[in-house]
Structure 1
Amino acid sequence: MTKPIQPTQTTAFYVQAILSFAVSLSSVVIALLYLPTAGWIRAFLGLGLLYVVTSTVTLCKVVRDRQEQSVVTNRVDQARLDKLLAQHDPFKVDA
């Protein structure tokens, strides 16, 4: 039986993802600070940005949890199948 290939993340990919998030978030925050509108409009847009960021983090967690759950379910199903195949004797004659 072959093991499924587990995707690995390199340190460079991890750092690039963090830097990309930091640059995008800081650029939008700076744009909101220098936006030539009233303060309440900037606050509203800032609150919307905060909502987008928190909902994105929640979505990432949900997707990751669902993927981990499916991996565990697949492992349990594979273990059950392996047990059934190990117990099965095709040459056994029922009396």
Structure 2
Amino acid sequence: MSAPNTKPKNTAAYTAQAAIAFGVSLVGTGIGIAYLPLDTWQRGFLAMSGLFLVTSCFTLAKVVRDQQESQSLLSRVDEARLEQLIAEHNPFRSVS
């Protein structure tokens, strides 16, 4: 007997909201940097810092997701071992 697929799914609306929020925040940051009363090198520094922040956020999200997936995989393996032990156990078998 196999367990049903219980992996949670994101809705299309949630995915669209996340993508729109990311785009708006990235464009807003770019416009804000462009209109600051700064020299070119200072704007470049802020732009590179913002880009580094975005890429590090993606990396952190991937690491957290990978850790969660590995823990759930180990949990499923442990559950399968336990089910196998229970299925093989016969309390009425004679010990000799």
Structure 1 segments (4+ residues) deviating >6 Å: none
Superposed displacement of residue 3, structure 1: 4.7
Superposed displacement of residue 93, structure 1: 2.1
Superposed displacement of residue 45, structure 1: 0.7
Equivalent pairs counted in the alignment come to 95
Q: Equivalent residue of 1:65, what SS?
A: helix
Partner of 1:53: 54
TM-score of the aligned structures, taking structure 1 as reference length: 0.92
Superposed displacement of residue 70, structure 1: 1.2
Q: Matched residues, percent identical? A: 44
Partner of 2:39: 38
User: Are residues 1:83 and 2:84 paired?
Assistant: yes
The C-alpha deviation readout for 1:48-70, integer Å capped at 9, x for no partner, is 10110000000111111111111
Partner of 2:16: 15
C-alpha separation between the residues in 1 aligned to 2:88 and 2:74? 21
Q: Equivalent residue of 2:9, what SS?
A: coil
Q: Gaps (5+ residues) in structure 1?
A: none
User: Are residues 1:72 and 2:73 paired?
Assistant: yes
